[in-house]
Structure 1
Amino acid sequence: MPHKTPITTKILIAMVIGLLSGSLINAFGKDVAFIQTYLVDGLFYVVGAAFINALKMLVVPLVTFSLICGVCGIGDVGVLGRVGVKALTLFVTTTAIAITLALSVAALIGPGKGFANAQSLSDFTPQPAPPFTEVLINIVPDNPVQAFAEGNMLQIIFFVIVFGIAMLMAGDTGRQLAQSAERMNEVMMKVVTLVMDFAPVGVFFLMARTFSEQGINLILPMIGYFSAVIICLLLHFFVTFSLLMALLAKLNPLVFIRKMRSAHIFAFSTSSSNATIPVNLQVAEKRLGVDNAIASFTIPLGATINMDGTAIMQGVATVFIANVYAIDLSLSQYMTVIGMATLASIGTAGVPGVGLIMLAMVFNQVGLPVEGIGLIMGVDRILDMMRTVVNITGDAVVTCIIARGENALDESIFNNPDAGAITEIELPHKNTLEESVLNAPEIELPQKDASID
């Protein structure tokens, strides 16, 4: 049988080609009307946006059925509560570590000092930040149907968890519903597989449009800020997450990072934690060996409330803008930034660009000029891709830690380099002729006795 190229490799190749193609267009075709109209704003935009929509299409039904399976799979309301408390505690802790690391590194590097032309930056007008009391109230949906229609993930998660608990309490009726949800979840995973078939094409057009608009040269004037964010993201990714995996999950961090590659590529190309949920869920179960009951609960929850990469951006951006405007922040203001960035991640949608809205809320709280966000908007798209990788990695780390603590992690799968590798996207078509004959259930010899009688 000919060797099949892994889908992850195809996506990686498509991403690199898209980056190079976009950069060339930015350098040589930026003023060519035909290229801008029919390629950048035409083909690139349409196919890329359609691919993102296809991924988002999966999110609500997949989260619904997988969460129901997770709640019912845990099977005990007490255990469910314990897992929920663990998840929330770990998510908040990792976010607080991320923002603290970002503030510390940015204070050492000092991005933005001596920066010229701080005035007349941008007319960026942020949405008004709701008070924290409203954030808590809005977790509970007043209309679940509206929450599902609008894709309000925190409200959906709250309703589905309550519904799943009610199923546990409903006895036999709940068990029948749980079986139906399991079947629907299996079907949704097949839909995920179908969408993944087109991933290399979608990723190519996404990358090509991003870099044809942004260009690599845009990074140069912002190299101090850009470098500080990258350093913090790498430190959190390789140091914080590795220590958590080694100490709390007692698993090899290098194996974990290697097995997360497919989810990392999707997160980088889509810049959306929510859009990466299907892939991250598949990796957690099939590649890392986490039981479905745990993974289907913590992965969607993490995509909604865990924003380590976004918190890092907020920390560095706070120091950067303070330096640009020569504003000295006090220790209490730094503590406020840590608290605000941690709390703001709860209930924030995992979609591209939402970090800027959260950043405006943090700036307002510590008295920094919100118009300073205009400085970082140019490079935010590229950084958004990188911090989404950190966001979804944090979800998987917490999932592994909880699964280890609940004895719901198969270490043989985790240590098997080939386990769950996403290479057989076309699995239903791979049967050989012999396998098809041997596995065909229609040929039942006992039926000929009935025909003779």
Structure 2
Amino acid sequence: MRIALNTQILVGALSGVALGLLFARLGPDAGGVKQGIFVCSLIGNLFTDLLKMVLVPLVFTSIAVGVANLRQHRQLHRVWVSTLGFFVLSMALAIALALLASNWFEPGKGLSLDLFQQADRNIAAKHMSFAEFIAGFLHGLFVNPFAALAQGNVLAIVMFALLLGIALVMGGERYRNILQLLQEGLELMLRMVGWVMRLAPFGILALLAQLLATQNLAVLSSLAAFVGVVLGTTLLHGFVVLPLLLFLLTKMSPLRFFRASREALITAFATSSSSATLPVTLRCAEQHLHVKPSIAGFVIPLGATANMDGTALYEAAAALFVANLANIELDLAQQMIVFFTTMLAAIGAPGIPSAGMVTMVMVLQSVGLPAEAVAILLPIDRLLDTFRTMVNVEGDMVVSLLVQRVLQDKA
């Protein structure tokens, strides 16, 4: 009897957690621990690299084919508007939840500022104004497509593939051969994703073991209140808010959704990368959640760069945490600035080194908070990143189901 891949991945994840905790308990000086962590890093990096290898051609073909298969420009307009609407709605709910929880629990109040001295301050954090951020973001949307493909600039690839798909729709039968070539390329990429997924149980085991074995638990305990607020609100958004939204609009039960999306959620947790998880997310949406390929191929690659519920939630909570550390009271108007700036920042700024850090600095600067406070977040960022990436990916799959439902209602 062959064990289902879903079950294999779950067993791999649990085994990775157990192995990582064992390594952490034994300590790095114990015999075989360093070698074990090294082997885990090799296997984990190999799995992540394989996912990234198929990422660019998969994004390009799935978006272009997805848009072209929508056929009618009017239907494309409906998909585009409903997709962006649900992206904004889900991120707005996440940010509002973070602000409410941060105002209620007030993490950082009374915390010793000596922690700033312990954190690494040697950061290349670029100070960027709001206008510079918007200019850089727009500049990164439209670049040489060959350069974008070579550099793995996902958002620029999405934009070019989107325009190509529209051109294929408008051109009709004239470009039938090009569309067929792209469709065959997409099928080929999905076949390769199936091969990579056979390694998923081992890759996820290795990634989780390495993460837990190298995590600094002392720093986590000193920032326990902030970690607790972020994890609590992230899990609440992922396991209550998004499933409730899905149930209210599509009547799909949360249990069915999580069972069908488990491969993508566990892979996102282990890799901490929405982009690296994208091949698995597409596979789950189309094969397990039964989203039409034309919709999944449009919504999910776009969501991997533009729909970041977990990231938006984290950056909003971090802004209020830093304000509490600095003993600065943010009024309602300033928190509204945090709300809107965080939503823009969560989309990201392609082409900027350390983009996550730059966007966090922009959020802090929008209300006059010290940009240097980014330093204190670095030691805990890796662990929190696993949870927020999982929610980012979940949000993409939920939106794809919601968009499909909207099109069915308007059909």
Q: TM-score if structure 2 supplies the norm length? A: 0.92
Task: For 1:21 and 1:185, locate their aligned partners in 2 and report how far apart those are by CA, in whole Å.
Answer: 37
Once residues 33 and 49 of structure 2 are traced to their aligned partners in structure 1, the CA distance between those partners, rounded to angstroms, is 24
Q: Contact 2:26/2:33 (CA < 8 Å) preserved in 1?
A: no
Q: How many residues align?
A: 402
Cα deviation digits, residues 57-113 of structure 1 (max 9, x gap): 111111111112201110112211221121112112211221111011111011111
Do 1:101 and 1:312's aligned partners in 2 also have CA atoms closer than 8 Å? yes
How far apart, in 2, do the equivalents of 1:119 and 1:401 lie? 43
Unpaired runs of at least 5, structure 2 = none
Which piece of structure 1 moves more, 243-252 or 318-327? 243-252
Structure number with greater Rg is 1
What does the per-residue CA deviation read over 1:260-312, in whole Å, with 9 as the maximum and x for residues that have no partner? Answer: 11111111111110111111111111111111110100000000101100111
Matching residue of 2:383: 382
Aligned to 2:57: 61
Identity among equivalent pairs (%): 37
- Native 8 Å contact 1:277 1:300 kept in 2: yes
How far off its partner does 1:355 sit? Answer: 3.9
**Residue aligning to 1:176:** 177
2:142 is aligned, of 140, 164, 169, to 140
Distance change >3 Å, CA 28–CA 218, structure 1 → 2: farther
Residue 7 (structure 2) pairs with residue 9 (structure 1): yes
Distance 2:42 2:146 in 1: 29
Is the deviation greater in 209-218 or in 331-340?
209-218
* Counterpart for residue 202 of structure 1: 203
What per-residue deviation string (whole Å, max 9, x for no partner) do you get for residues 397-451 of structure 1? 1111110111299xxxxxxxxxxxxxxxxxxxxxxxxxxxxxxxxxxxxxxxxxx
**Cα deviations across residues 141-179 of structure 1 (Å, max 9, x unaligned)?**
2x1110111111111111111111112222323222111
- Alpha-carbon distance in structure 2 between the residues aligned to 1:81 and 1:316: 34
Residue 281, structure 1, aligned to residue 282, structure 2 = yes
CA contact (8 A) 1:70 1:292 kept: yes
Equivalent-residue separation in structure 1 for 2:220 and 2:115 (angstroms) = 17
**Residue 300 (structure 1) aligns with:** 301
State the partner residue of 1:31.
Answer: 29
1:53 and 1:152 mapped to 2: Cα distance? 16
Q: Which residue of 2 aligns with 1:81?
A: 77
Aligned counterpart for 1:47 among listed residues 43, 46, 54: 43
Q: CA deviation at 1:192?
A: 0.2
Tell me what 2:341 maps to.
340
How far off its partner does 1:217 sit? 5.1
1:302-317 map, 5 Å: 302-317=303-318
SS at match of 2:39: helix
CA deviation after TM superposition for structure 1 residue 389, in Å: 1.0
Higher helix share: 2
How far, CA to CA, are the matches of 1:216 and 1:256 in structure 2? Answer: 33
Residue type at the aligned position of 2:317: V
SS of the residue 2:81 aligns to: helix
Q: Distance in 2 between matches of 1:137 and 1:408?
A: 37
Contact 1:102 1:313 in 2 (8 A): yes
Specify the code of the residue in structure 1 equivalent to 2:333. Answer: S
Offset at residue 336 of structure 1 (A): 1.1
Establish whether residue 127 from structure 1 lines up as the match of residue 123 from structure 2.
no
Q: Tell me, which stretches of 5 or more residues in structure 1 are unaligned?
A: 410-453
* Contact in 1 for aligned 2:348/2:359 (Cα 8 Å): no
Return the letter of the residue paired with 2:135: T
Contact 1:67 1:296 in 2 (8 A): yes
Contact 1:70 1:295 in 2 (8 A): yes
Q: What is the CA–CA distance in structure 1 between the aligned matches of 2:208 and 2:240, rounded to whole Å?
A: 28
| Contact 1:22 1:215 (8 Å CA) reproduced | no
Where 1:275 maps in the other structure, the secondary structure is helix
Q: 1:23 to 1:137 in 2, by over 3 A?
A: same
**Deviation (angstroms), 1:254:** 3.0
CA distance in 2, matches of 1:366, 1:287: 44
* Partner residue in 1 for 2:20: 22
3-state SS, counterpart of residue 407 of structure 1: helix
Q: Contact 1:140–1:158 at 8 Å: present in 2 too?
A: yes
Letter in 2 for 1:10: Q
Amino acid at match of 1:93: L
Q: How far did 1:348 drift?
A: 4.5
Mapped to 2, the partners of 1:373 and 1:176 lie a distance apart of: 51
Question: Which stretch shifts more, 126-135 or 259-268?
Answer: 126-135
Deviation of 1:33 (Å): 8.6
In structure 2, C-alpha distance between the alignment counterparts of 1:119 and 1:297, rounded to whole Å: 43
Q: Report if aligned partners of 1:11, 1:200 keep a CA contact under 8 Å in 2.
A: yes
Q: Is the 8 A contact 2:78 2:407 kept in 1?
A: no
Distance 1:247 1:333 in 2: 32
Map of 2:237 onto structure 1: 236
Q: Secondary structure at the match of 2:328?
A: coil
2:97 matches 1:95: no
Residue pair 1:304, 1:348 contacting (<8 A) in 2 also = no
Contact 1:344 1:358 in 2 (8 A): yes
Letter in 2 for 1:86: S
**1:54–1:93 distance in 2 versus 1, CA, 3 Å:** same
- Asked whether the 8 Å contact 2:315–2:360 carries over to 1, the reply is yes
Q: Distance in 2 between matches of 1:363 and 1:33?
A: 44
**Superposition RMSD in Å:** 2.1
CA distance in 2, matches of 1:323, 1:347: 25
Report the 3-state secondary structure (helix = DSSP H, G, I; strand = E; otherwise coil) of the residue aligned with 2:126.
coil
Distance 1:183 1:408 in 2: 31
What amino acid is the match of 2:60? T
Q: Larger deviation: 87-96 or 24-33? A: 24-33
- Counterpart of 2:364 in structure 1 is 363
Aligned to 1:451: none
CA contact (8 A) 1:285 1:292 kept: yes
Query: Per-residue displacement from partner, 1:295-345 (whole Å, max 9, x unpaired)?
Result: 100000000101100111111111111111211112221111111110112
Q: Which amino acid aligns with 1:72?
A: A
What is the letter of the counterpart of residue 127 of structure 1?
A: K
